[in-house]
Amino acid sequence: NNVIDHNVVQHDGPWDGITTLSADGSTGTDGASYNTISYNTIVDNSVAMLDGNGQPTWKQDNGVAITGPGSTHNVVDHNVINGSSVNGVQIFPACINSYGGASQGCSGTVPNDYNIVTNNVVEDNGFGSPAAIAPLGDGILILAMGPRGVFQPGHETIENNDVEGNQRNGISVASGNGEDLYNAPGTTQGDNYGCSNLNSGGGNTGVPTADLCGTLDNTVIGNTSSGNGEDGIWIGPKSMFNSVIGNHVSDNRVDGIAIGLAVLYNANSQAVPNPQGGFETIAGTAGTNNTIVANSATGDGVWDGRDDNVGCANTWEGNQFGTVNQPCVSGFSDAGAPAA
């Protein structure tokens, strides 16, 4: 029940501009909830972490971070957020925050659900080259790390935001800085196990596990997302029952609205390249049972609308797309008739 408003937060780091932070308790009641972060100007939070010799090594600065466990019903409203070194707004899983990394044993805690991010201007966040190495920095990110329904945030509302020029995606649903990956067998991605099963030694089997990635029941509505380094709106692997409604998406470097496959990473935490100049992906990992309705997308670099499920496994209706990767994304079957 705190209100943080009308502040100027500038040149902070190496953590976040404004954060709701709670303890990693096991009672299921811990959390920073019912707070309002509004009418703040949060700019250029991009101070790097330093190594033992005082040299810059990494960046971890989000503009606004909702961490947990149990951070629910917070409102991020009418802020201007730009120049963060990672994400403009990030909603974390219940068992990871900017200060502690991933932890296990959080099954008794409450996910960071029912938060609202609305009416913000979120621009030019992130770092890294989108054309070569995997960049960091989404405008607004719902970060997914399993198991789904325990760690994963869900039931979030992303509404009426202006999201432009961010290094990676404009809006990401169940994605993140490697959280949507499948690691190669026998490897891990630091403390982050992506979407794959663990073996008895703590390594990664590379076997897809639906409960270890994706997020459920989020709503992305009425946003403008343009000129971002990868996709305008990205729905990550194994994400289900999300609604993407009435958004205006344009001029993103890769896709406008995309439901994509998980990327394969190697033992050195690098995406595995494919012969086409992209990265290897894992078949059968794209999100399903999502609803994408009444959106418009134009001028995106590859596809304005994309669904990596064969024949689509999501509902696409009433959208206006210039280009699509298969007819069902336009609301038509392969034969050209309206999809059932």
How confident is the model at residue 23, as a pLDDT? 63
Average pLDDT in the 270-297 region? 85
What's the pLDDT score for residue 54?
72
Tokens 């932070």 -> residue: 21
Q: State which amino acid sits at residue 113.
A: D
Mean pLDDT over residues 262-272, rounded? 64
- As a whole number of angstroms, the distance between CA 296 and CA 281 comes to 27
Lowest mean pLDDT, pick from 53-57, 122-126, 305-309:
53-57
**Residue 78 CB-density burial (10 A; 0-12 exposed, 13-18 middle, 19+ buried):** middle
Percentage of the chain lying above the pLDDT 90 cut: 46
pLDDT higher for 190 or 219?
219
pLDDT of residue 99: 42
- Is the predicted pLDDT of residue 271 greater than 80, yes or no? no
220, pLDDT greater than 90 = yes
Taking the C-alpha atoms of residue 189 and residue 4, their distance in angstroms, rounded to an integer, is 35
pLDDT of residue 81: 97
Lowest mean pLDDT among 92-106, 115-129, 180-194: 180-194
Of 31-45, 152-166, 209-223, 301-315, the one with minimum mean pLDDT is 209-223
As a whole number, mean pLDDT of residues 6-11 equals: 94
The model carries a pTM of 0.86
Q: Which pLDDT value is given to residue 212?
A: 52
Res 192 pLDDT > 50? no
DSSP collapsed to 3 states, the chain:
CCEEECCEEECCCCCCCEEECCCCCCCCCCCCCCCEEECCEEECCCCCEECCCCCEEECCCCCEEECCCCCCCCEEECCEEECCCCCCEEECCCCEECCCEECCCCCCCCCCCCCEEECCEEECCCECCCCCCCCECCCEEEECCCCCCCCCCCCCEEECCEEECCCCCCEEEEECCCCCEEECCCCCECCECCCEEECCCCCEEEEECHHHCCCECCEEECCEEECCCCCCEEECCCCECCEEECCEEECCCCCCEEECCEEEECCCCCECECCCCCECEECCCCCECCEEECCEEECCCCCCEEECCCCCCCEEECCEECCECCHHHHCECCCCCECC
- Residues in Cβ contact with 27 at an 8 Å cutoff, skipping those fewer than 6 apart: 108, 109
d(CA 264, CA 229): 20
Dist CA 197 CA 302 (whole Å): 32
Please determine, for residue 146, whether its predicted confidence score (pLDDT) is greater than 80.
no
Q: Is the predicted pLDDT of residue 103 greater than 50, yes or no?
A: no
Confidence at 199, pLDDT banded by 50, 70, 90: very low
Q: How far apart (Å, rounded) are the C-alpha atoms in residues 170 and 180?
A: 16
Q: How confident is the model at residue 261 (pLDDT cuts 50, 70, 90)?
A: confident
In sequence order, which residues have a C-beta less than 8 Å from that of residue 179 and are 6 or more positions away? 143, 144, 145, 192, 194, 213, 236
